Amino acid sequence: MSLVLIIEDEFELRAGLATGLSRAGFDVAEAEDGDVGYAAILDTRPDLVLCDIGMPGLPGDRLLQRLRREHPELSRLPFLFLTAHADRDSVLAGHELGADDYLTKPIDLELLIAVIRKRLAQVERWENAFDADREHQHSRFLTMLSERTQHSFLAAADVLNHLSEGVLLLDAAGKVIFANQMARDILSQEDGLALRNGILISTRSEHARRIRELLAAVLAPAGAKSVPLILPRPSGRRAYEMHACRLGARFAAEPGAGALVALFLSDLDSRCRPSEAMLIAFYDFTQTEARVVANLALGLSVGDIAEVQGISRNTVHHHLKSIFDKTDTTRQSELISLILSGLAAQTATPAALP
């Protein structure tokens, strides 16, 4: 069942919503104010948040702004605001922050349930489309890598070291012959995965077996399509996600060595800042469009972007329209999820790009 987190300071309203949603088949968690709600989002990782705007302490709009800024990996989390006064300016500001919908008090429970189900269905459809898009991105990436390796493996390594995903290149024996910077950072934590004598190992025998089966399937003559693996981490942090695909040609990482498999390793807890160069390379963005996307990924609002880049809000919206067209997205949360979960970011200390 989907988990809905209700953040509402009015006890009777919160309890009534919780009862109604539970009867409708949802799991429900509750928080009495914005500060408790923010912590609950990080602890429970709900499927949808139902949040009051006007609360003591951390109000709903500031909670959402903080969440988008500090945890961009949660940008696809549906966020519904409850408000007593849904005036135009408040609604517009909320949508610019990434809010999915507004419901005005008193709450119509049947309408609320319908809206929640609609939003969760949209997320499921988008995630399915996102998985297909990521496969396409991997294919584009490997084509780019192939072109680079025809000239120099060092040139290919430079591309690999700008990616937000860990990339491991393996030979026919399953030995790692290259690991990009993100992969080295992930493996150095030894949080369930590590590299020993060139072999990727897991501290859990079940995970080690699944990794071996994945690589065997990819290396088989039929060239099985990669199925993503979800690998929980002993520390309790968010699980690793692993994809593997067979390379169309041998990539020479060093004399006499050829890579046959590319293994992609995602650590969704890593803080990332998109690389403008990679955004341009993968999505055909202009320089200004890439900068807008990079700033959105850092949690800046449209108004903030206009200020730091020295352009008008209308100009930002004009660029966003072009960006949505190029990425086949329709909302800022979808766009940022695509960028941060894809291949176009590098680890960095967040800073707005002027």
Same domain, 101 and 8: yes
Please report the pLDDT score of residue 337 as a whole number: 65
Closest CA relative to residue 285, chosen from 297, 293, 295: 293
Q: Domain span at residue 93?
A: 3-107
Angle between helices 109-149 and 153-160 (to 10 degrees): 160
CATH number of the domain that 217 lies in?
3.30.450.20
Task: Indicate the pTM of the whole model.
Answer: 0.49
Please report the pLDDT score of residue 22 as a whole number: 94
Q: What is the DSSP string of 264-289?
A: EEEETTS-EEE-HHHHHHHH---HHH
**pLDDT tens-digit readout, 84-128:** 766 666 666 656 656 777 888 888 899 899 999 988 888 777 666
In a domain, 118, yes or no: no
* Residue-wise burial string across 289-325, b where 16 or more C-beta atoms lie within 10 A, e elsewhere: bbbbbbbbbbbbbbebbbebbebeeeebeebbeebee
In the chain, what's the furthest Cα-to-Cα distance?
71
Same domain, 248 and 174: yes
Same domain, 91 and 21: yes
Domain end point (choices 232, 267, 302) = 267
The count of other CB atoms within 10 Å of the CB of residue 3 is 14
CATH number of the domain that 86 lies in?
3.40.50.2300
The number of folded domains in the chain is 3
Please report the pLDDT score of residue 349 as a whole number: 42
Same domain, 173 and 258: yes
Same domain, 157 and 257: yes
In a domain, 211, yes or no: yes
Domain end point (choices 267, 298, 327) = 267
Please report the pLDDT score of residue 347 as a whole number: 44
Flag residues of the chain having pLDDT under 50: 254-256, 345-350
Residues 156 and 259: beta-carbon distance below 8 Å: no
Same domain, 250 and 311: no
Same domain, 259 and 322: no
Same domain, 292 and 251: no
Same domain, 220 and 259: yes
CATH number of the domain that 323 lies in?
1.10.10.10
In a domain, 193, yes or no: yes
Same domain, 290 and 260: no
